[in-house]
């Protein structure tokens, strides 16, 4: 048993849950809530299949007991203990799921408990959070802590039922699959510094139930690995190889909804005293207990193919026999997806920068189409786009990923298309008030400024009028300016006014990058 790597099944389940958890931040909450229901249903179906496979192994134990009870008995006894511990752990988690559903739905005692898909308040996160984490900052001392204690007890019981040699092989594996450690300081997000908070704080009820179902899947898979190891160990000594293991080879360890998961399962045997020679990419890799240890730092995004050759001595000829092999894995960039639900906005007349990607899918296998809002989309680089809109309304971004030679829809995100807000008028960064006569008369221009708008959008004043109110004299109404510059008549009228006179800029018009003309407020200055 190698304890250093998660099985493809565990990686698949973990990645699916993490992707959906990250997507909860997007403006597709209803779809993601429903996706958690789908994931939970799939996990429950997978758990039934795993349980059925485990039952077949126990049946094989019974047949083997009938053939040779003395030889099989010690292994069967250990397998039955593992079965008992696993069944109790799964039942405990199932009761947690039931209790949470009852509390969320406010059910009376004895009422029928709905399945996850039938829960009315699927997005409720207060009840599961309070039930599992309470009101303490660290979330400890409540049901999540009880679950953590149960998991640790389950791991201890399983390890304790095995021989010393198997204990060494499985302990690291169990600690990895059923990890109950608090997050490392570098991994803490949103002050969720404990296992309880990191797993259960502020999650919708369907996400919480899906996670609990995943824990059940982890327990059943641990059970499967241990009992399969025990069963194959019965006759391990009958082969000239002194170690046997169940192995799974999958073309990819990362699959999404709509994509088929395929794997080859086989029994691997090796000799701990005669290691093979294994080369990958022309370089020899370390071999321990008959198994090559290949490590590579992931880079880029998408599917990565690799392979090599295994060479082992043929006992009959004493010559090397070569066994080529190949495998694939998926790399995805570390990322958090954060979106304000009410801020999905595109503006008319300015380039709107966007990032669009599908975790685990190469950028060249992702396509985006847009309907509504008169939006056109231009790709600028890896996952980077610029959207240009022309019409107010809604724009729907439809994302498709190419997987296994076919397009799989990855969801739709709606954006509102709005016009740029109105600017405000100003002269020398002032919107009115006291000003010296000479400064105002020599002002370079009347400007239109967008306040609090982050896009690089420019409005230009195209027309305005000036009225000068002089103390004890008639008001002067100057001819309108047809640009953003003060006319000589306006400057003369301002220069000829005394202190205390008022200058009013009104009927100010400005044209924006979207081609619209806006009417701006007036400006009133008092000459000093």
Confidence of residue 506 (pLDDT cuts 50, 70, 90): very high
pLDDT for 3 = 39
pLDDT at 230 over 70: yes
Do 398 and 497 fall into the same domain? no
Q: What pTM value is reported for the model?
A: 0.44
Confidence of residue 508 (pLDDT cuts 50, 70, 90): very high
**Rounded CA gap, 416 and 372, in Å?**
10
Calculate what percentage of the chain has a pLDDT beyond 90. 50
Q: Of the ranges 338-342, 381-385, 427-431, which is most confident?
A: 427-431
Do 407 and 442 fall into the same domain? no
pLDDT for 488 = 95
Q: Which residues pair with 467 in a beta bridge?
A: 477, 504
pLDDT at 174 over 80: yes
Buried b (16+ CB within 10 A) or exposed e, 185-194: eeeeeeebbb
Residue 328 lies in a domain: no
Mean pLDDT of 328-334: 64
pLDDT at 325 over 90: no
Confidence of residue 398 (pLDDT cuts 50, 70, 90): very high
pLDDT for 332 = 60
Region of poorest pLDDT, from 30-39, 144-153, 478-487: 30-39
Higher pLDDT, 236 or 2: 236
Residue 445 lies in a domain: yes
Residue 293 lies in a domain: no
pLDDT at 340 over 50: no
Residue 83 token pair? 């079965």
Which of 401, 418, 435 is a domain's end point?
Answer: 418
pLDDT at 397 over 50: yes
Do 78 and 125 fall into the same domain? yes
Region of poorest pLDDT, from 3-7, 40-44, 466-470: 3-7
Do 137 and 22 fall into the same domain? yes
- Which residue range(s) make up the domain with 369? 345-418
pLDDT for 262 = 65
Residue 264 token pair? 């080859």
Residue 262 lies in a domain: no
pLDDT for 402 = 86
Residue 276 lies in a domain: no
Do 409 and 516 fall into the same domain? no
pLDDT for 26 = 43
pLDDT per position as a tens digit, 24-48: 444 446 777 777 888 888 888 889 9
pLDDT at 192 over 50: yes
pLDDT for 371 = 94
For 240-260, what is the HEC assignment? CCCEEEEEEECCCCCCCCCCC
Mean pLDDT of 163-183: 89
Q: Which of 366, 447, 450, 442 has its CA nearest to residue 408?
A: 366
Do 116 and 165 fall into the same domain? yes
pLDDT for 342 = 56
Do 131 and 145 fall into the same domain? yes
Buried b (16+ CB within 10 A) or exposed e, 327-364: bebbbbeeeeeeeeeeebebbbbbbbebebbbbbbbbe
Do 476 and 364 fall into the same domain? no
Rg of the chain over Cα atoms, rounded to whole angstroms, equals 35
**What's the total number of domains in the chain?**
3
pLDDT at 481 over 90: yes
Mean pLDDT of 299-308: 76
Do 377 and 432 fall into the same domain? no
Cα dihedral 119, 123, 126, 131 sign? positive
Higher pLDDT, 472 or 331: 472
**Rounded CA gap, 146 and 93, in Å?**
11
The CATH number of whichever domain residue 448 belongs to comes to 2.60.40
pLDDT at 338 over 80: no
Residue 507 token pair? 């009927």
Confidence of residue 326 (pLDDT cuts 50, 70, 90): confident
Confidence of residue 328 (pLDDT cuts 50, 70, 90): confident
Do 23 and 60 fall into the same domain? yes
Which of 393, 418, 443 is a domain's end point?
Answer: 418
Burial of 154 (0-12, 13-18, 19+ CB in 10 A): buried
Do 165 and 227 fall into the same domain? yes
**Rounded CA gap, 454 and 194, in Å?**
38
Residue 12 lies in a domain: yes
pLDDT at 216 over 60: yes
pLDDT at 317 over 70: no
Mean pLDDT of 280-298: 83
Residue 527 token pair? 């000459």
Higher pLDDT, 463 or 473: 463
pLDDT per position as a tens digit, 56-113: 999 999 998 998 888 899 999 999 999 999 999 999 999 999 999 999 999 998 899 9
pLDDT for 492 = 94
**Rounded CA gap, 107 and 121, in Å?**
12
Region of poorest pLDDT, from 233-247, 348-362, 373-387: 233-247
Which of 234, 266, 300 is a domain's end point?
Answer: 234
Q: What is the mean pLDDT of the chain?
A: 84
pLDDT for 239 = 36
Do 406 and 474 fall into the same domain? no
pLDDT for 260 = 61
């Amino acid at each position: 048993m190698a304890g250093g790597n998660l099985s493809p099944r565990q990686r698949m389940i973990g990645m699916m849950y993490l992707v959906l958890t990250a997507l909860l931040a997007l403006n597709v909450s209803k779809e993601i809530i429903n996706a958690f229901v789908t994931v939970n249903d799939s996990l429950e179906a997978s758990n039934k299949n795993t349980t059925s496979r485990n039952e077949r192994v126990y049946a094989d134990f019974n047949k083997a007991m009938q053939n040779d009870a003395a030889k099989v008995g010690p292994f069967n006894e250990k397998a039955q203990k593992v079965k008992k511990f696993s069944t109790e752990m799964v039942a405990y988690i199932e009761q947690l799921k039931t209790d949470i559903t009852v509390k969320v739905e406010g059910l009376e005692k004895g009422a029928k408990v709905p399945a996850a898909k039938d829960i009315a308040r699927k997005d409720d996160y207060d009840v599961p959070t309070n039930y599992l984490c309470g009101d303490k900052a660290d979330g400890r001392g409540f049901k999540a802590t009880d679950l953590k204690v149960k998991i640790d007890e389950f791991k201890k019981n399983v390890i304790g039922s095995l021989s010393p040699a198997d204990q060494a092989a499985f302990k690291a594996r169990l600690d990895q699959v059923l990890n109950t450690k608090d997050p490392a300081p570098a991994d803490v997000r949103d002050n969720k510094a404990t296992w309880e908070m990191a797993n259960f704080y502020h999650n919708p009820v369907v996400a919480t139930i899906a996670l609990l179902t995943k824990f059940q899947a982890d327990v059943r898979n641990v059970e499967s690995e241990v009992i399969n190891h025990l069963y194959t160990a019965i006759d391990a000594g009958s082969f000239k190889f002194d170690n046997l293991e169940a192995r799974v080879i999958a073309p990819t360890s990362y699959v999404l909804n709509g994509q088929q998961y395929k794997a080859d399962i086989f029994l691997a045997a090796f000799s701990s005293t005669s290691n093979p020679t294994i080369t990958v990419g022309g370089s020899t890799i370390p071999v321990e207990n008959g198994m090559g240890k290949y490590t590579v730092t992931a880079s880029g995004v998408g599917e990565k193919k690799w392979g090599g050759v295994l060479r082992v001595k043929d006992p009959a000829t004493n010559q090397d026999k070569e066994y080529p092999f190949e495998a694939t894995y998926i790399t995805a960039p570390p990322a958090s997806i954060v979106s304000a639900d009410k801020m999905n906005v595109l503006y008319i007349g300015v380039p709107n920068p966007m990032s669009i990607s599908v975790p685990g899918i190469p950028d060249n296998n992702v396509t985006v189409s847009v309907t509504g809002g008169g939006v056109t989309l231009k790709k600028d680089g890896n996952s980077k786009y610029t959207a240009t809109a022309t019409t107010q309304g809604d724009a729907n971004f439809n994302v498709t990923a190419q997987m296994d030679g076919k397009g799989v829809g990855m969801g739709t995100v709606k954006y509102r298309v709005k016009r740029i807000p109105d600017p405000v008028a100003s002269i020398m960064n002032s919107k009115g008030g006291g000003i010296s006569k000479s400064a105002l008369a020599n002002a370079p221009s009347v400007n239109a400024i967008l306040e609090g708008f982050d896009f690089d959008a420019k409005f230009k004043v195209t027309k305005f009028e000036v009225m000068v109110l002089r103390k004890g004299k008639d008001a002067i109404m100057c001819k309108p300016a047809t640009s953003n510059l003060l006319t000589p008549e306006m400057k003369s009228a301002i220069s000829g006014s005394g202190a205390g006179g008022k200058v009013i800029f009104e009927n100010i018009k400005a044209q924006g990058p979207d081609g619209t003309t806006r009417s701006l407020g007036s400006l009133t200055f008092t000459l000093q």
